[in-house]
Structure formats: structure tokens, C-alpha cells
Amino acid sequence: MNGSLSSAASAAKERHESAAASGLQLDMSRGKPSPDQLSLVEGMLESVSPGDVRSEHGTDCRNYGGDLFGLPEARRLFAAMLDVSADSVIVQDNSSLRLMFDTVAQCLLVGTSQAGPWRALDKVKFLCPVPGYDRHFGLLEYFGVEMIPVDMTDVGPEMETVERLVRDDASVRGIFCVPRHSNPTGATYSAVTVQALASMSTAAPDFRIFWDNAYAVHHLTSSPPPLSSLLDSCEQAGNPDRVLMFGSTSKISFAGSGVSLLAASASNLSWLRGHLSKQSIGPDKLNQLRHVRFFRDLAGIESHMRRHAEIIGPKFELVDRVLEERLGGLVSSDGRPLASWSLPHGGYFISFDVLPECARRVYDLASQAGLKLTPAGATFPLGDDPRDQNLRLAPTMPSLDELERATELIADCVVLASAELQSGA
């Protein structure tokens, strides 16, 4: 072990022991909005009041009726947010994850708008950019879909691998993408990546891109990288049905009481209507009305999101500063940095890489000292990070004081785990 790591390790050990003895309880495991963020939107609870419950076309939002796909004014508002036309987007109830789950279920059970049920195939495979979102992987695992990890780069998944796999194997039916401020790396897909996804040749006749644009407007900086429209690119490439685009207001309004969004081609929307109309008479129109009245237009959403950034931006900066102070310059005996981490332009996460074979140990050490992190491995299908290297940090929920304490502790856990690895313990 090199000298600076061993002296850092003895100080880290002392602090770790005292944190463990102090009964500390901190949680950085999930990307939840903080109470301050939720307070920004409380006015929405009053934006619909007794006697004032009709939509722009006079629909009584308390009753059945209106379009299954959502209020026209809500479709216009959220179309602007997803950068699509109003007739391509539908607005549904809370949870885009449920819409994604349901869409995969329909593809498996009844087939897509272009081909028969996937369950009739010997095998159904999805490409999974890694590190990625654990709930996408959980959903696919639930349905028995085989997941093929593909490495993420700063501009999207490694496209040569994607193109080869979709071209050569007809059982590869889909890919899950978080194209903007991705969970957890923060990467935004480049225009070249978007174009390649739209135009690549696929062996499957009905390959689907589950384009989960969960962080469409969740910027932390004033000049985030642009994201081009996959819906337009697919249309231009002659593959209009390839994309199913998702979004929600879970991290814009109320995480448990937002609206979910799905944008797609006309033929995919008519396919969706077929099964949505069997599930529900219609979505919660009062909630859609509340959202429209509170935000009004895209400028309203964007100014609201700038206020979010004022609250959570300093949290991301703090994590970066503390990690740099505590870990910057520390290297393993063969000269590798003990850790590296992403500096996202938006979204809710920091992707944190430690030395190979260390992530689980860092997670365990943090748990022993009372800090709950997202489990090591969660950012990979089946929880299996082959290098045991990646952790996801979620800085939004804790207060700044809690976050400082938690980040110092993470750095101590990294030093301890790396020192153990070097000494062969």
C-alpha cells in the first residue's frame, strides 16, 4: 500500500468507527425530490377550486368523459415539454414506470402495432445501457426478458455494439434508454447517437426503443447539451413506429401525484388506445387541470425547474467538492485514482466508480456506519456489476448538512475499502 493511502486509511478508520458508534442514520439511496422542492408546487393544490372544474372545452373534469388520451390543453403543454406535437402525446395518471411496464406487457401478450406477441418467441432480449436505471432492469427481469448490457459512453450507449446486436439477432426486441441526464451517469445522447438509433437496421420487424425522457427539463446548468427528437428522426428514417417515448412530472410537480406521458407515432397511439380503453374509462382530469393551470406553458415549467436547480444544484456541487477534497490525488499502488465520478448537467444522480472489486465493500462499510446507499450492482441487470465498481449517489433528498456528513463518510469508506483491497485483506 502506498504511504498516503495508508495514512488516509488510519484516519478514515477512526472516523468510520465514530460514525458507526454515533447511531447515524442517513439515506442517499433514492432520487427523491427534497421537501423544499415539493413546497414550490404546493400552490397547485389550490389551482382547481369548487365551482371551477371545467376544461377549456367545457368538460366537467369531475365526471367521466373527455378523451382517453388526456385533456387537449394538457397534451399541448406536455408536448412542448417533450418537444413533440400535441397529437403525438398522451397524458395519463401518475407513474411513467407503470406505463412502461404496461407497454412491455402488451408487446409480450398481444404483440406490437407491427407484429405478433413476443411471448411466442423462444427468447425475448433487450439491450440495457449500463450503468442504468435499476427499475427498468427490475421490470424486464419480472417478465423474464433476457438483458444484454451495453456500455454507456458520454454520448449514449456504445453504438457499434448496439448496431451489431440488433442487426444479427431477431430476438433482440428493444432497448431502454434514458436519453437526457441519464440515470445514473448524467449523459445526454448526442445527435449522432439519436440518428443511428433511428436508422439502424434491425433483424426484428418491430424493434422498440423505450425512450424514457424522465429528465427532459431537469437541468442543473444554464447550457445543457441539446437532445434531438427521436420521434422526428425515426419518422424521417422510415421507422416511425420504432420509438415509444415516456416522461412524467414526478420530479417536476409531486413525485406521488404527477402525470405520466407517452409520445409515439399515430399507429402506435391507435395500438395503445386499443388496450388503454379496456383498462380505464379515462385518466384523472382534475389533476391534469391542476397541472395546466399551475404551469400554464413551457416557460412556466422551465422557470419552475430553474427554482429546482437553485435548490439541488448546490447539493451536487457539495458532493463534488467533498469528494475532491477527500479523494482527489489518492491513488492505488499501481497509480489508479481511488474513485472517479460524473459531474452531471442535470438529472438526479452522480455515477461513482471506485476501484474494481470495491463497490460492494464500500456499500457495506457505509451501511455499517448508518448510511444507506443504492445497493452496489443495482445499476446493472440482475444486480450484477461484473467489475463490482459502480455506485449511484442520490444527493437531492438530504439537507446540505446531512449531505456533507454522508459524502465525507463515503470518501472514508472508499479509502478503507481500497486499503483493504491493496493489503489483500
Ligand X SMILES: Cc1ncc(COP(=O)(O)O)c(C=O)c1O
Q: What single DSSP character describes residue 337?
A: B
Does residue 33 contact residue 376 with C-beta atoms inside 8 Å? no
Name the residue nearer to ligand X (CB basis): 133 or 380: 133
Task: Report yes or no: 201 and 234 within 8 Å, Cβ to Cβ.
Answer: no
User: Of 15-44, which residues contact ligand X (CB under 6 A)?
Assistant: 31
User: Which of 144, 138, 110 lies closest to 124, judged by CA?
Assistant: 144
The residue among 177 and 319 lying less far from ligand X, judged by its C-beta, is 177
Q: How far is the CB of 95 from ligand X (least distance, A)?
A: 4
Judged by CB under 6 A, the residue of 12, 97, 369, 413 near ligand X is 97
Q: Cα 6 vs. chain centroid, distance in angstroms?
A: 37
Q: Does 133 bind ligand X (CB under 6 A)?
A: yes
Strand partners, 126: 147, 174
Among the listed ranges 45-53, 91-99, 312-320, 408-416, the one in contact with ligand X (CB under 6 A) is: 91-99
Any bridge partners for residue 172, and if so which? 125
Query: Which 208-237 residues touch ligand X, going by CB under 6 A?
Result: 212, 214
> Which of 59, 112, 185, 250 forms a contact with ligand X (CB under 6 A)?
250
**How far is Cα 398 from Cα 413, in angstroms, rounded to an integer?**
19
Residue among 48 and 97 whose Cβ is closer to ligand X: 97
Contacts of 17 (CB under 8 A, 6+ apart): none
- Judged by beta carbon, residue 253 or residue 407, the one nearer ligand X is 253
- Of 48-56, 92-100, 192-200, 201-209: span binding ligand X (CB under 6 A): 92-100
Of 233, 239, 248, 342, the one binding ligand X by CB under 6 A: 248
Rounded to an integer, what distance in angstroms lies between the CA atom of residue 97 and that of residue 100? 5
The CB-of-185 to ligand X minimum distance in angstroms stands at: 11
Q: Which residue among 37, 59, 92, 95 contacts ligand X (CB under 6 A)?
A: 95
By CB under 6 A, residue 178 contacts ligand X: yes
Q: Is 374 in the site for ligand X (CB under 6 A)?
A: no
Residue 186 within binding range of ligand X, rule CB under 6 A: no
Contact residue for ligand X among 106, 113, 260, 374 (CB under 6 A): 260
**Per-residue binder mask for ligand X (CB under 6 A), 288-317, x = binder:** ------------------------------
Integer Cα distance of 265 and 268 in angstroms: 5
Least distance from ligand X to the Cβ atom of residue 313, Å: 18
* CA atoms within a 13 Å half-sphere pointing along the CA-CB vector of 69: 22
We find the least distance from the C-beta atom of residue 49 to ligand X, in angstroms, to be 26
Q: Which is nearer to ligand X, 312 or 358 (CB)?
A: 312
Q: What are phi and psi of 173, to 5 degrees?
A: -105, -15
Instruction: Please give the size of the binding site for ligand X, defined by CB under 6 A.
Output: 12
Q: Measured between alpha carbons, how far is residue 29 from residues 38, 102, 133, 366, 397 in Å?
A: 19, 26, 13, 11, 9
DSSP 228-270: --HHHHHHHTT-TTSEEEEEESTTTS-TTS--EEEE--HHHHH
Q: Which residues bind ligand X (CB under 6 A)?
A: 31, 95-97, 133, 178, 183, 212, 214, 248, 250, 260
